[in-house]
Amino acid sequence: MPQCYDRRYFAFFGFWFFCVFLFFLGMDGYQRYAVLATPAVFATLVLLIFIPRDVEKVPEAYRLASRRDIFKALLGRI
């Protein structure tokens, strides 16, 4: 069965950047949460984006054919 990658999960990548932003704010209250949340969000990102899914389960607008397409989408070229 053909497989593809789903680009809908890039929202987790944005949330990871948000956690890093909170970490660099320098506020004591937010650094603790960002340090705890960043590894979990990064692991979820890898789990959701880099695991191929069945083509039938991913709408055509969100399909990425290969890992190369994933990195193009991360760079904003798609």
Are the beta carbons of 78 and 26 closer than 8 angstroms?
no
List pLDDT tens digits, range 55-67: 998 888 888 888 8
Which structural domain, as residue segments, surrounds residue 33? Answer: 3-74
Backbone φ and ψ of 5, nearest 5°: -110, 150
pLDDT at 6: 78
Are the beta carbons of 15 and 38 closer than 8 angstroms?
no
Strand, coil or helix: 78: coil
Q: pTM of the prediction?
A: 0.52
CA dist 74 and 65 (Å) reads: 14
Mean per-residue pLDDT for 66-74?
82
Q: Which residues pair with 4 in a beta bridge?
A: 53
For the chain, what is the domain count? 1
Percent of the chain with pLDDT over 70: 83
